C-alpha cells in the first residue's frame, strides 16, 4: 500500500462531524467509558452492545468498582457477549490502574498498551479520543477503508499489512486525531461496508478511492485465512432433581469459557444407553431421559455441535452445583452456547 493518504483527511473529518452517530460512549471523553465500549465492541455489533454498556456502567461506574467486583458478578454482567477473556482482562487492567496509577487512567499510548487486554487498536483509540495523542487506531473497518482507497491487494489479515497501514496513518494524523480515527471507523461501519456492498455514492472519499474508480469494491479487501476450524460434538445434560433444582458445574480456570458455569456435558454424541451409564458413573439415578433439541455454537476457532437431553434424577449429589431456575438466571453466568439449550 503506497498511495498518499493525505487527501482523505479533510473530507473525512467534515463528513464525520456532520454524520457521526450519537452513541452513549460519545457523550464525553471519559477514558473509562471509551475503554469499556471499545472492549465490548470487539467482535460484537454496536446494537448488541448498547444494553450491556448501560447495565455494566450502572453496576460498575468507575475503575475502582471494576477492580473490586466479584468474578461471578462480572461474568454475569458479561453473560451473552461472548469472548469472556475480555471481561477478565478488564478487571485485571483495573487492578493495575488502581495499584500502579492510583486509580488515574494512563494517558499515553505507550502506557495504555501495557495494560492487560489492551492491544494496539484499543490503546490508539483511547489515547487519541480521550487525550488527543496523534496515534492511529487500526481495526478491520479501517483496514477495509484503506485497502479500497489505495486499491491494495495485500492480505489485510496479515500482521505486516496492519503494520504498514498504521505507519502510513501516523504520517497524516491531524491534530484532531480522535475524530479522524473515529471517522475512519464510522465510515467502515456505515458506508464502506464489507462483502462487496459499499454505499459508494454516499462516501466522502470516493474521489480519492481507487477501488471505486476501478470497480474493485467487490474484490477488496483481500482476506485470506490460513486457520482450519475444528469441530466438537457434545451431549449436553439438563439435569433436574425431584425438587426442581438444576445441575450446573464450573468450567476450568483456563481455556475456552474459563471460569464460567455450564450444563454438564460429554464429548461426542451418545446413545441413551451410553448416557445412562455415564449418569450412573456420576452417581445419579435417572428416572427418565428426553431428547430436547440440537444447537450449534460458533467460537473463533471451533464449532460446537450439541445435542441436549432433559434428564430427571431421583436426588442431588455433591458432584454438581444444584440451583433454582431463578438463581441460574440471576447469579450464575452461563455462556450463550448453553443458554441456547435451555
Which residue numbers are catalytic?
A: 38
What is the signed CA dihedral for 310, 316, 319, 322, rounded to 10 degrees?
70
CA within 13 Å, CB half, 174: 18
User: CA–CA separation, 211 vs 214, rounded Å?
Assistant: 5
One DSSP character per residue, 134-164 reads: ------HHHHHHHHHHHT--SBTTSHHHHHH
Instruction: Residue 223: count other Cβ atoms within 10 Å of its Cβ.
Output: 14
Q: How far is CA 280 from the centre of its chain?
A: 39
Q: How far is CA 160 from each of CA 166, 211, 277, rounded to the nearest angstrom?
A: 10, 21, 53
Who contacts 199 (Cβ-Cβ below 8 Å, separation ≥6)?
190, 191, 192, 193
Task: Please work out, in degrees rounded to the nearest 5, the angle formed at the alpha carbon of residue 66 by the alpha carbons of 64 and 70.
Answer: 120
Helix boundaries (H) for the chain: 9-19, 31-41, 46-59, 63-68, 71-78, 85-101, 109-112, 120-131, 140-150, 159-172, 177-190, 210-214, 272-281, 325-330, 336-339
Amino acid at each position: 500500500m503506497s498511495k498518499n493518504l493525505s487527501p482523505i483527511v479533510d473530507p473525512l473529518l467534515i463528513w464525520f462531524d456532520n454524520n457521526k452517530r450519537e452513541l452513549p460512549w460519545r457523550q464525553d471523553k471519559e477514558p473509562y467509558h471509551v475503554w469499556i465500549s471499545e472492549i465490548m465492541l470487539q467482535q460484537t455489533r454496536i446494537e448488541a452492545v448498547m444494553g450491556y454498556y448501560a447495565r455494566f456502567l450502572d453496576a460498575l461506574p468507575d475503575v475502582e468498582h471494576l477492580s473490586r467486583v466479584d468474578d461471578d458478578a462480572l461474568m454475569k454482567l458479561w453473560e451473552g457477549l461472548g469472548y469472556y477473556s475480555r471481561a477478565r482482562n478488564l478487571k485485571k487492567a483495573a487492578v493495575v490502574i488502581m495499584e500502579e496509577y492510583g486509580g488515574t487512567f494512563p494517558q499515553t499510548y505507550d502506557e495504555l498498551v501495557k495494560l492487560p487486554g489492551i492491544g494496539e487498536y484499543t490503546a490508539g483509540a483511547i489515547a487519541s479520543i480521550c487525550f488527543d495523542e496523534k496515534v492511529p487506531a487500526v481495526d478491520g473497518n479501517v483496514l477495509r477503508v484503506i485497502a479500497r482507497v489505495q486499491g491494495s491487494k495485500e492480505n489485510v489479515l496479515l500482521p505486516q499489512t496492519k503494520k504498514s497501514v498504521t505507519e502510513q496513518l501516523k504520517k497524516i494524523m491531524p491534530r484532531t486525531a480522535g475524530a479522524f480515527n473515529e471517522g475512519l471507523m464510522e465510515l467502515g461501519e456505515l458506508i464502506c461496508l464489507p462483502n462487496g456492498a459499499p454505499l459508494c455514492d454516499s462516501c466522502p472519499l470516493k474521489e480519492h478511492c481507487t477501488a471505486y474508480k476501478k470497480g474493485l469494491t467487490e474484490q477488496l479487501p483481500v482476506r485470506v485465512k490460513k486457520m482450519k476450524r475444528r469441530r466438537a460434538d457434545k451431549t449436553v445434560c439438563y439435569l433436574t432433581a425431584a425438587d426442581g433444582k438444576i445441575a450446573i458445574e464450573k468450567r476450568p480456570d483456563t481455556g475456552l469459557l474459563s471460569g464460567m458455569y455450564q450444563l454438564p456435558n460429554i464429548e461426542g454424541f451418545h446413545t441413551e444407553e451410553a448416557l445412562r451409564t455415564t449418569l450412573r458413573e456420576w452417581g445419579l439415578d435417572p428416572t427418565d431421559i428426553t431428547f430436547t433439541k440440537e444447537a450449534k455454537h460458533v467460537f473463533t476457532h471451533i464449532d460446537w455441535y450439541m445435542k441436549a437431553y432433559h434428564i430427571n434424577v431421583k436426588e442431588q449429589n455433591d458432584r454438581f452445583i444444584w440451583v433454582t431456575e431463578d438463581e441460574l438466571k440471576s447469579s450464575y453466568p452461563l455462556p450463550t452456547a448453553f443458554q441456547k439449550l435451555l
